[in-house]
A and B are shown apart, each in its own frame.
Chain A
């Protein structure tokens, strides 16, 4: 058993060391693989804010992942076809600039999370799980029937979007962008958990009626957590679409929502680094088991069952002492 802080630093160090090693031995594929893990981790860190701190089991976080993806896809599509995004009330052009795309992705997923949260948080328990699942399906079917942006086939973007001062087509530089964002969000998450808001949210998860008697509104606390959570996952979606230079309705699918939950649980729910470890472990398993057998989902399912039944607390729970 090692202290959790060391584990956190160790994992982040490993996430930097592996791509640098891959750069030295000239294995760009490994850099891309780690970038994929980092982006999944960002999505899962987002979910962990709602799930770990707020106790909100959202089976619809693919909504925000997909909105982020489509924000990138739509903006870049209009930029590469030189068509205006909208002509009314004033002309809006597409863009190939990452910071602008991130801003749009975060804003739209924040709005979506606010709307979905306002409706879904009226329910709790199993109804909450199902209504978030239903919202996910709603966006999924909408994206399939939205012929203007590729419908079922999705949208391909020819060249990865740009970031001022960097060459994003170079795998290691794109990795650096994603990793920096992950670190920033992890820092924000750590601050949030220790802030008065985080403590109140924690209390609202455990004993909502006591929080209410203190004059705080559990509904509002959970809503804020859900919105922050959706915004972070939306940002991850924009990065994921940029990584693949492709966005399709699959990003909205409920399997995607399930996978984001798996990242969190595999690593350890409510632990800062849990989602990062979970996402990295998932990408490793996907790569390794996928190479061993065409039917690797059977093994993934068995591992997941084992974690749920016997290793509550995930990988972090197995190797690290709680805050100490």
Chain B
């Protein structure tokens, strides 16, 4: 096995990781600030991807498509926050799970109704396609490197937003004591809507960016949503830093496990058995990891002690 393969797979893992981070950041902010578990976050990812595919198809501009994705997801997010989600903050987690599950049903069928059941395709623009040469003679797709870069930049911006701005102070104060900051004159209702819109826009951006690598179809959001849940559980719910570390751990484990576990089993099993055992174990690896981390630290790596 060559070093080039290993480095390529690590880059693939990073790329999956930063995309998961875009999803997980919104989820963890929404949970941290509003105490809401939002299953419909995957639907916002899907809305972003479909908006991008539609706009790219109409205008041919990839940048416009990304802007449209963020705007559409943010609008959808604000809409469901005002109409439905707002009524759920005071309710228990069971109600939140069910109501947002109902939103998934509505969104998925609604999108299928508008766009049909066939997948759409979003093309990578010419200036971002093709391989680039990295030091050491590695050929790697430029687009995936751009995704890693975007993820890192968004991570940095979110960190600056929460740590260095007035809005960030309000968000962090809201996590600690929502009644106190309401008493201090912050319009908590607007703050919640704004946080929800930011989370939704990030999910929409992730959907559009990934939509250019995979196909854009109904139901694309849910597998990513569940991975993002794993990420925030590993990282500790409510922590942006935890979401970032968790996303990289999950992305790398999933990618590297899928490639290397079958090869590892080939050392002591016959090839056919090794491939099936290895890939079965690889698909379960992140859940096993999550279980292990929760047993070790029941509130995640960066979570506050309950």
Could you tell me which A residues sit within 8 Å of B by CB distance?
Answer: 51, 57, 59, 119, 122-127, 129-131, 133-135, 137-138, 141-142, 144-147, 254, 258, 261-262, 265, 269, 295-298, 300-302, 304-305, 308-309, 312
Contact = CB atoms under 8 A, between A and B. Distances in A.
Interface in B219-272: 222, 226, 229-230, 233, 237
30 contacts: A51-B94, A57-B94, A57-B97, A122-B294, A122-B298, A123-B299, A127-B237, A133-B226, A133-B229, A134-B287, A137-B226, A137-B287, A141-B287, A142-B280, A142-B284, A146-B276, A147-B276, A261-B94, A261-B97, A262-B98, A269-B94, A295-B113, A297-B109, A298-B113, A300-B102, A301-B104, A304-B98, A304-B105, A305-B84, A308-B102
Given A134-B291, A295-B113, A125 B93 contact: yes
How big is chain B's contact interface, by range? 35 or more
B288 interface: yes
A258 B99 CA distance: 11
Nearest to B113: A295
Given A130-B230, A134-B287, A145-B279, 8 more contacts: A57-B94, A123-B299, A133-B226, A146-B276, A147-B276, A261-B94, A265-B98, A305-B99
Contacts of B288: 138
Nearest to A254: B226
A144 B101 CA distance: 24
A300 B105 contact: yes
Contact of A126 (B31, B113, B294): B31
A126 B93 contact: yes
Nearest to A57: B94
Contacts of B105: 297-298, 300-301, 304
Contacts of B291: 119, 131, 134-135
A305 B276 contact: no
A46 B161 CA distance: 46
B98 A261 contact: yes
A245 to B, nearest CB: 26
A258 B113 CA distance: 22
Contacts of B84: 305, 309
Nearest to B284: A138
Given A125-B93, A134-B290, A135-B287, A146 B280 contact: yes
Contacts of B146: none
A124 B94 CA distance: 13
Contacts of A124: 306
A126 to B, nearest CB: 5
A61 to B, nearest CB: 13
B176 interface: no
A51 B93 CA distance: 12
B113 to A, nearest CB: 5
Contacts of B109: 295-298, 301
Nearest to A143: B280
Contact of A134 (B31, B99, B230): B230
A127 B299 contact: yes
Given A127-B294, A130-B233, A254-B226, A304 B280 contact: no
A309 B287 contact: no
* Nearest 8 CB-CB pairings of A with B: A301-B105, A141-B283, A301-B106, A304-B102, A145-B280, A138-B287, A297-B109, A301-B102
Given A119-B295, A124-B306, A134-B233, A129 B283 contact: no
Interface string B56-90: 00000000000000000000000000001001000
A298 to B, nearest CB: 4
A123 B31 CA distance: 17
A298 B110 contact: yes
B112 interface: yes
A273 to B, nearest CB: 19
B179 interface: no
B217 interface: no
Contacts of A308: 91, 95, 98-99, 102
A258 to B, nearest CB: 5
A298 B93 contact: no
Contacts of A122: 294-295, 298
Given A131-B294, A298-B105, A141 B284 contact: yes
B55 interface: no
Given A145-B276, A304-B105, A305-B102, A130 B229 contact: yes
A241 B291 CA distance: 29
A51 B87 CA distance: 22
B46 interface: no
B210 interface: no
B12 interface: no
A295 B280 contact: no
Contacts of A300: 102, 105
Nearest to B229: A130
Contacts of A127: 233, 237, 294, 298-300
Which residue, of B112, B284, B288, has the highest number of chain A Cβ atoms within 10 A?
Answer: B284
Contacts of B301: none
Nearest to A305: B102
